[in-house]
Amino acid sequence: MKQINEDIKKQNFKQVYLLYGEERYLRRQYRNRLQAALCGDGDSMNTHFYEGKDIPVGEIIDLAETLPFLAERRVIFLTDSGLFKSGGEKMAEYLSAPNETTFFVFTESEVDKRSKLYKTVNTKGYAAEFKVQDESTLKRWIASSLSRDGKKITEDTVQFLLQKTGTDMENIQMELEKLVCYCLDREVITPADVEAVCTTRISNHIFDMINAIGDKQTRKALDLYYDLLALKEPPMRILFLIARQCNLLLQTRELKSKGYDNRTIASKIGVPPFAAGKYVAQAGRFQTAALRRAVAQCVETEEAVKTGRMNDRMSVEILLLSVL
């Protein structure tokens, strides 16, 4: 990221950039910065956009060989092309010696670093990975973002906000906009404000559902399920998330039994460090054997639905009544 900022500042650009990784908000932000820096205002003649798989690589190469019209450069933006996973050999060959007046900006969710295209871009241009940001970085970003709108937030309130929104910066940004509008002339954002306007992630509902099961509160677990159905969440997606949660708890319990600390557990199961304590506490409510049975029951339930032996909505209800 620092390299891109430096290139923009000095107006000394690489011919090809690759922006990839899980954090889509940052990918989009840096693509927009590059677009503003590389392309003249309203220069539609020399700015081109392609998105999705099966893009016409041959057509793009032909375009790249065309000199820009009354401009310094031609810029081609490609988003989620999939070429860094497969089928990128022809593009890699071209980028090894591209037209000097044509620049490329790739934005991808996933890449294979072993691919010829990735290696070519990494050699001829610059590849920037945008990972999920850690807790301290997110807190600073949230405080800075709110400060620009004349708002303040305490450490405890930021923590509560992250628990509801997760670590996706795009999602957090939308929730911050709602908070700023909701608070109007008030300077300090409170936990009550967060509770009032911020949307709780579906994964939080699943977490609460598993907690209810652990506390033998079957009615509460079913009510949470019906809430998700009311929000138009498909039963099979809910089943997938229940299975995922049970699997994470099983991993957490096994890692904890081996003596790993919470930060290491968070890294190994792929959750934010600040959430590790919640997973460890929830996993402690169940025996390992019960969690293994729960994962198996989720698989059996999915199979029953896919083979037509059971209705999807009812299958999850039965699972919640019998799991764990």
Residue 14, H or E segment? none
Helices (H) then strands (E): counts for the chain: 16, 7
User: What is the chain's length?
Assistant: 324
pLDDT at 324: 61
Sign of CA dihedral 313, 314, 320, 323: negative
pLDDT at 62: 95
Q: Average pLDDT of each block of 10 consecutive residues along the chain (324 residues)?
A: 90 95 92 91 87 92 93 94 93 94 95 94 94 88 95 93 87 93 93 91 84 87 90 90 92 94 89 83 91 93 93 92 78
pLDDT at 298: 93
User: Rounded to whole angstroms, how far apart are CA atoms 232 and 179?
Assistant: 24
Structure tokens at 220: 């509460």
Task: Give the 3-state secondary structure of residue 129.
Answer: strand
Which of 88, 76, 80, 86 shows the shortest CA–CA distance to 53? Answer: 80
φ, ψ of residue 185 to 5 degrees: the values are: -85, -5
The answer to whether 45 and 29 have CB atoms below 8 angstroms apart is: no
